[in-house]
């Protein structure tokens, strides 16, 4: 049986590998030691705050429609949600999402 690690931990591990532990720790506002302990599975405390910071920093996508970085959750909500026919600007964004090559897959 295999266990997969949480998304935030995978993102954190990948970013630390892509840049460095010191770099990602600084961007998250934590020490390199804390990040090292989290990645090694030896962090003595509850990593929920680190997880939240990691998701806020790393679980993002560049939205081509608004030309801003948004969370994966927000992207998924807009792209896979019902058409917001009550608001022309939101409807335009939703329509752009329907033909976006980065559109998330539905569950």
CA dihedral 51, 55, 57, 63 (to 10 degrees): 180
56-105 pLDDT tens trace: 999 999 999 999 999 988 999 999 999 999 999 999 999 999 999 889 88
Residue 54, burial from CB neighbour count under 10 angstroms (0-12, 13-18, 19+): buried
Token readout for 32 is: 């390199």
Cα 81 from chain centroid (whole Å): 19
10-62 pLDDT tens trace: 999 999 999 999 999 999 999 999 999 999 999 999 999 999 999 999 999 99
Sorting pLDDT into bands at 50, 70 and 90, what band is 1? very low
Q: Please tell me the predicted confidence (pLDDT) of residue 3.
A: 64
0.95 exceeded by pTM:
no
Contact 57, 28 (CB under 8 A): yes
Q: Which bin fits 95, alpha (ψ -120 to 50), beta or left (φ > 0)? A: alpha
Whole-Å CA distances, 29 to 21, 51, 57: 12, 12, 11
């Amino acid at each position: 049986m295999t266990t997969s690690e949480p998304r935030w931990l995978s993102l954190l591990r990948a970013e630390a590998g892509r840049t460095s532990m010191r770099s990602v720790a600084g961007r998250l506002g934590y020490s390199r030691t804390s990040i090292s302990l989290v990645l090694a599975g030896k962090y003595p405390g509850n990593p929920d705050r680190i997880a939240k910071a990691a998701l806020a920093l790393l679980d993002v996508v560049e939205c081509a429609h608004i030309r801003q970085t948004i969370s994966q959750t927000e992207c998924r909500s807009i792209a896979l949600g019902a058409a917001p026919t009550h608001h022309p600007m939101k409807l335009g964004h939703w329509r752009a999402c329907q033909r976006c090559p980065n559109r998330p897959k539905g569950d």
